[in-house]
Chain A
Amino acid sequence: MNIDQLTIVKAKEGLKKKEFSSLELVEGYFKNIKKKNSQLNAFITLCEKEALLEAKKADKLISEGVKKSLLGIPMAFKDNFLTRGIKTTAASKVLQNYIPVYDATVVDKLKKAGVIILGKTNMDAWAHGSSGEASDFGLTRNPYDRNKVPGGSSSGSATAVASRMALAATGTDTGGSIRQPASFCNVVGLKPTYGRVSRYGIIAMASSLDAIGHLTKTVADSALLLGITAGQDKFDATTSPSPVGDYLKNIKKSVKNIKIGVPKEYFREGLEQNVKSKIKAALKEFEKLGVKVEEVSLPHTEYALAVYYIIQPAEVSSNLARYDGIRYGLGRKMFAGEAKRRIMLGTFTLSSGYWEAYYLKAMKARTLIKEDFDKVFKKVDALITPVSPTLPFKIGEKTADPLKMYLSDIYTVTANLAGIPGISIPAGFVNNLPVGMQILGPHFSEDLLFRLAYHYEQKTEFYKKKPV
């Protein structure tokens, strides 16, 4: 068993063929964790004892012929997913001792499918961040270059998967928090359609923007996981009743003649030349696969970040109001700077006298941004764009200026504003630093995204290059 080369699909096969046991898997991952986590700081909480126990139970069930889709598969969970009985902190001191009394719906679904929880991954506190440096429990490092950021806010999840400390990890994406760290760490990051996966039991950041997804080594793994986490939930009124298909079924179907749009607004100044050339090269690969590439326009793109940084902090300021320290947590004086900044900003844009000029204006502009996508998807089937305007940047490079950090999100916030799905996949390396690209599609077009991503991935095999 070579842990470094495992994927969920391969692990399932291996367990089925009795090539190894779930216990060996879990032991293997904890070996890697012990080797690497102290330098990378991908985990806040590790559940070794419980995981080994669960692995033994899983092995017994496997030997009895019990069939569950992820029986014995070890995963990590971003620390804003509530896990019953396991400390959940959102990487904030406010919740440093918080032990939830219930599981998030997604956690419950994955547990029922047989998943084993390795631990809770590090993140930017409250998911407020684009680098992994804003955790109250120490920053996370990029496994490909420890002086660089892994991206955020699902920093620990991306790092854990990339450095083979977990087979897969859950994440949340409100403005790019799955896609960007995925692109910085050479892994696959899925942001599903808003409402495709239940938000119940996941610490809310911005309620109308939060999407619940995951980070995996490969596209097939990502498709497999979505098949389990997706679906309407009676505890989340914003989940869609639209049926969940088999996301693996058509993944290998030819992508010939699929129309891909390349929005010109995503390739203007601000995009590093190195990144740009990788995306252009990727587009050439897609053309070789028979895809039709054409230039399109999303005219309101330049306003997206402004809309995002009005709506998101407003919803944040309301969602964080419950942390008064009475029923749980250590109270509001434990909020660190970034959380405070966003709460202040959000309170301001909702306040009397300013609401119309800021919040209402942003809601209207959001309509225009969404309409841009509706119109463009009448012409093309999917879009390809960069994920980050830069390569993974140096630790400390953007922490002095909040606005500078916010600008990292320019290509990713649009999908959250429109609610559309996006997948970030490895697109190559520059100076050994990973570069990712994202494929965006209309609402509920995840199987198309998986199909396109799969073909590109199989052709280029960037996922095979592990960090040194």
Chain B
Amino acid sequence: MTFKTFIGLEIHIELKTKAKMFCRCAADYFGHEPNTHVCPVCLGLPGALPVPNKKAIELTIMVGQALNCQINSFSKFDRKNYFYPDLPKGYQISQYDLPFCKNGEFLNVKITRTHLEEDTAKLTHLRLDGKEVSLIDFNRSGVPLLEIVTEPDIKSSKQAKGFLKKLAQTVRYLNVSDCNMEKGSMRLEVNISLGKDRLPDYKVELKNLNSFRFAEKAIDYEIKRQRETLEKGEKPIQETRGWDEKRQRTFSQRTKEEAQDYRYFPEPDIPPIRLNEKEVTEIKNSLPELPEEKKQRFIKVYRLSEYNASLLTENIKTANFFEGSASLAQKEGIETSKIANILNNRKINISKISTGKFVKDILDEKNKVQIKDQDLDKIIKKVLENNQEVVKEIKKGKEIAIEFLVGQVMKETKGQVDPNHARSILREKIKSA
């Protein structure tokens, strides 16, 4: 029996704002002393009230636009009510029926919605005085969180991984978030189910996937597990499962039978947000060129290979460094493809060198090699003369010995020659000698 795989993703991304979502506490919490970035609002003290961060809203709309979503011109926040120790107010301020962005599409996967909410506190479980306890740090409470939900359009683990990588790259390009799974600035949940032709009436939720790699493995495992269940004529249980990296399998965490009743209602403490077309267009115009666009442009304008262009546009800093260098290089008559090759193949630390110096170094190298060609001949003759035993060995068939001679040439020229070039001249001379 063949089954179709239906995978939908729920991605949470922490926004890189200076302040938290509803208060003025610093949003950067990673690595700080516990409970030092906290105020009445994000601690949920009696009497505290939320005031939304304008930048967080703008970043949300930017991401929505990068995902080709429709932007709701009228939007609001809602309360999602449930009890948990990491949720200080006993409700999370989120968005329910009027999210900022909806109905988008990215890499042929439909985006259901992109909305804005606040993050919860951090819980650490341990044993204290003989009892199982949770330690709570509210530094993370209230940090702005973007939630992206896709339709179950993804059909394989490979596609899921590709989607996630590209999504993370895009979000980083927008300078909206670091999208770092290890630091928790990007989190992932996967909904997966198998059906004969259409979406079945159950789904399994995979949680606590700490990397794209784990997600890929978990999906593959689940597809296999669910297929086996279905082939037996049974229906997989609707539940939440986690990934066990040690045992390389998913395991049941909780049955999702009784869905939580969040009792959503409009957040009375925050007036709604109304955006006009001008504002939405302004935000769209402020979107930087996205990775795919940039890659295509590099291929066309700088005549790069797909491979080189892809590598260069991996992150925006490298891409910008390349463009800066390329425009300088063109003035000096150096080929942009050469610049691309050097950047991709040699380990250039672009944060420690300016584009100007980088191009100048290449120019010097080019000039040095040209000048040395006349003197190279002299040096190669000298090396051959001084190493006649080695030449004999090479003539006898020990090809590899030529590397010693190449090394000698490099020494004599103080490295100012392309070793491949030196090698070919040496071979020529040895052959003709």
Say if the two chains contact directly (CB < 8 Å).
yes
Pick from A199, A207, A317, A322: contact of B88, CB below 8 A: A322
Q: Which residues of B contact A236 (CB under 8 A)?
A: 49, 51, 269
What CA separation (Å) do A101 and B40 show in the bound complex? 8
Contact B90 A238 (CB under 8 A): no
B157, chain A: closest CB distance, angstroms: 34
Measured in the bound complex, the distance between the Cα atoms of B175 and A35 in whole Å is: 67
Partner of B265, one of A98, A318, A328: A318
Chain A residues positioned under 8 Å from B46 (CB to CB): 82, 88, 90, 95, 98, 100, 203-204, 322-323, 328
Which residue from chain B places its CB closest to the CB of A314 in the assembled complex? B265
Residues of B contacting A327 with CB < 8 Å? 43-45, 88
Report whether B52 and A237 are in contact in the complex, using a CB–CB cutoff of 8 Å: yes
Q: Contact at B51–A235, with CB atoms within 8 Å?
A: yes
The 0/1 profile, CB within 8 Å of A marked 1, for residues 248-272 of chain B is 0000000000000101010011110
Say which one of B79-87, B223-231, B300-308 lies at the interface with A: B79-87
> Given the complex, which residues of B lie within 8 Å of A318, measured CB to CB?
79, 81, 90-91, 263, 265
Report yes or no: A200 in contact with B268, Cβ–Cβ below 8 A: no
Interface pair A324/B83, CB less than 8 Å apart: yes
A351 at interface (Cβ–Cβ under 8 A)? yes
User: In the complex, are the beta carbons of B88 and A234 less than 8 A apart?
Assistant: no
Task: Name which residue of chain A comes closest to B23, CB basis.
Answer: A235
Given contact pairs A318-B81, A321-B90, A352-B263, A208 touches B268 in the complex (Cβ within 8 A):
yes
Whether B83 contacts A201 by the Cβ 8 Å rule is: no
A298-337 CB contacts (< 8 Å) to partner B: 314-315, 317-318, 320-324, 326-328
| Interface residues of B, dominant DSSP | loop
Judge whether A347 is part of the interface by a CB distance below 8 angstroms: yes
- Interface residues of chain B, those whose CB is within 8 Å of chain A, are 40, 43-52, 79, 81, 83, 85, 88-91, 136, 261, 263, 265, 268-271
**Centre residue among A203, A207, A237, A317 by max chain B CB count within 10 A:** A237
The answer to whether A237 and B81 touch across the interface, beta carbons within 8 angstroms, is no
User: Can you identify 8 A-B contacts, CB atoms within 8 angstroms?
Assistant: A90-B46, A104-B47, A204-B49, A237-B49, A237-B50, A318-B263, A318-B265, A355-B265
Give CA–CA (A95, B47) in the complex, Å.
13
With a 10 A CB-CB cut-off, give which of A201, A208, A327 has the most chain B CB atoms: A327
| A328–B45 CB distance below 8 A | yes
- Contact flag A350-B44 (CB < 8 Å), given A199-B49, A315-B268, A322-B88: no
Assuming the contacts A208-B268, A321-B83, A347-B263, asked whether A235 and B49 have C-beta atoms less than 8 A apart, the reply is yes
Bound CA–CA A204/B268 (angstroms): 11
Once the chains bind, are A237 and B261 in contact (CB under 8 Å)?
no
Chain B, Cβ-Cβ closest to A233:
B49
**Given A202-B47, A318-B79, A352-B263, does the pair A237, B89 have CB atoms closer than 8 Å?**
no
- Tell me if A20 counts as interface (CB < 8 A to partner B): no
Chain A residue total in the interface (Cβ 8 A): 40
CA distance A354 to B261 in the complex (A): 11
Residue-wise interface mask of A (76-87) relative to B, using a CB-CB cutoff of 8 A (1 in contact, 0 not)? 000000100000
Q: How far is the CA of A322 from the CA of B91 in the complex (A)?
A: 8
A324 touches B269 (CB 8 A): no
In whole Å, how far is A273's beta carbon from the nearest beta carbon of chain B?
A: 39
CA distance A205 to B43 in the complex (A): 18
Contact of A234 (CB < 8 Å), options: B44, B51, B52: B51
Other than A318-B79, A322-B46, give 15 A-B pairs with Cβ distance below 8 A.
A88-B46, A100-B46, A199-B49, A235-B49, A235-B51, A236-B51, A237-B270, A238-B268, A315-B268, A321-B81, A323-B90, A324-B85, A326-B136, A347-B263, A350-B81
What is the CB-to-nearest-CB distance from B86 to chain A, in angstroms, rounded to a whole number? 10
Say whether B47 contacts A350, CB under 8 Å: no
In the complex formed, the residue of A with least CB distance to B47 is A201
**Residue A454 CB within 8 A of the other chain:** no
Q: Say yes or no for A359: interface residue by CB 8 A criterion.
A: yes
Measured between C-beta atoms, what is the minimum distance from A203 to chain B in Å? 5
- Report chain A residues within 8 Å CB of B269: 207, 236-238
Residues of A in contact with B (beta carbons under 8 Å apart): 82, 88, 90, 95, 98, 100-102, 104, 199-204, 207-208, 234-238, 314-315, 317-318, 320-324, 326-328, 347, 350-352, 355, 359
Residues in A whose Cβ lies below 8 Å from that of B40: 101-102, 201
B215: min CB distance to chain A, Å:
31
How far does the Cβ of A373 sit from chain B's closest Cβ, in whole Å? 19
CB distance from A325 to the nearest CB of B (A): 10
With A318-B79, A318-B81, A324-B90 as contacts: A200 and B261 at CB distance below 8 Å: no
A200 B89 Cβ-Cβ under 8 A: no
**Contact between B265 and A359, CB atoms less than 8 A apart:** yes
Is the beta-carbon distance between A326 and B85 smaller than 8 angstroms? yes
Query: CB distance A350 to B270 under 8 Å?
Result: no
Residue from the set A207, A208, A234, A321 with the largest chain B CB neighbour count within 10 Å? A321
Instruction: Give the distance in Å from the alpha carbon of A102 to the alpha carbon of B39 in the complex.
Output: 10
Q: For A320, what are the chain B residues with a Cβ–Cβ distance below 8 Å?
A: 90
Say whether B89 contacts A321, CB under 8 Å. Answer: yes
Known contacts A322-B44, A327-B43: A351-B261 contact under CB 8 Å: yes
Contacts of B265 in A (CB 8 A): 314, 318, 350, 355, 359
Chain A positions within 8 Å of B49 at CB level: 199-200, 204, 235-238
Chain A residues with CB under 8 Å of B83's CB are 321, 324
B45–A204 contact, CB under 8 A? no
B85 and A350 contact, CB distance less than 8 A: no
* Complex CA–CA separation, A323 to B46 (angstroms): 8
For the complex of A and B, list the 9 residue pairs with the smallest distance between their C-beta atoms, beginning with the closest. A321-B90, A350-B263, A207-B268, A208-B268, A201-B47, A322-B44, A203-B46, A352-B261, A237-B51
Of the candidates B43, B83, B268, the one having the most CB atoms from chain A within 10 angstroms of its own CB is: B268
Of all chain B residues, which has the CB nearest A329?
Answer: B46
CB-CB under 8 A from A208, the residues of chain B are 268
Which B residues are in CB contact (< 8 Å) with A234? 51
Complex CA gap A315/B88 in Å reads: 16
State in angstroms the CA–CA spacing of A261 and B252 once bound together: 67
A102 to B49, CA, bound (A): 13
Q: Which residues of B contact A352 (CB under 8 A)?
A: 261, 263
Give A88 to B49 CA distance when docked, in angstroms.
18
Q: Which residues of B contact A201 (CB under 8 A)?
A: 40, 47-48
> CB distance B263 to A355 under 8 Å?
yes
Contact assessment for A200 and B48 in the assembled complex, using a CB-CB cutoff below 8 Å: yes
Nearest-neighbor residue (CB-CB) of A207 within chain B: B268
**A326→B89 CA distance, assembly (Å):** 11
Question: Nearest Cβ distance between residue A8 and chain B, in whole angstroms?
Answer: 25
Cα(A441)–Cα(B290), bound, Å: 55
Within the complex, the shortest CB–CB distance from B47 to chain A, in Å, comes to 4
Nearest CB in chain A to that of B84: its residue: A324
Is the pair A204, B263 in contact by a Cβ cutoff of 8 Å? no
Which residues of chain B are within 8 angstroms of A321 by Cβ–Cβ distance? 81, 83, 89-91
Contact A322–B89 (Cβ < 8 Å) = yes
Q: How far is the CA of A314 from the CA of B88 in the complex (A)?
A: 19
Once A100-B46, A318-B81 are accepted as A-B contacts, the answer to whether A238 and B271 lie under 8 Å apart by CB is yes
How distant is B244 from chain A, measured CB to nearest CB, in Å?
31
Residues of B within 8 A of A204 (CB): 46-47, 49
Q: Write the chain A residue with the least CB distance to B136.
A: A326
Q: Which residues of A contact B90 (CB under 8 A)?
A: 318, 320-324
Query: What are the residues of chain B within 8 A of A235 when measuring CB–CB?
Result: 49, 51
Q: Which residues of A are found within 8 Å of B136, using beta-carbon distances?
A: 326
CA–CA, A368 to B81, complex, Å? 28
B197–chain A nearest beta-carbon distance, Å: 31
Q: Which residue of B lies closest to A203 (CB)?
A: B46
**A318 to B136 alpha-carbon distance, docked (Å):** 22
Complex interface: chain B residues within 8 A of A203 (CB): 46-47
Question: Whole-angstrom distance between the alpha carbons of A317 and B263 in the complex?
Answer: 11
How near does chain A come to B90, taking the closest CB pair, in angstroms?
2
> Which chain A residues border B91 with CB–CB below 8 Å?
318, 321
Complex CA–CA separation, A201 to B41 (angstroms): 10
The distance in angstroms between the C-alpha atoms of A351 and B260, with both chains bound, is 10
Please report the C-alpha to C-alpha distance between residue A90 and residue B45 in the assembled complex, in whole angstroms: 13
> Is the CB–CB distance between A351 and B47 below 8 Å?
no
Q: How far is the CA of A334 from the CA of B382 in the complex (A)?
A: 97
Least CB separation from B43: chain A residue: A327
Distance to closest chain B CB from A196 (angstroms): 15
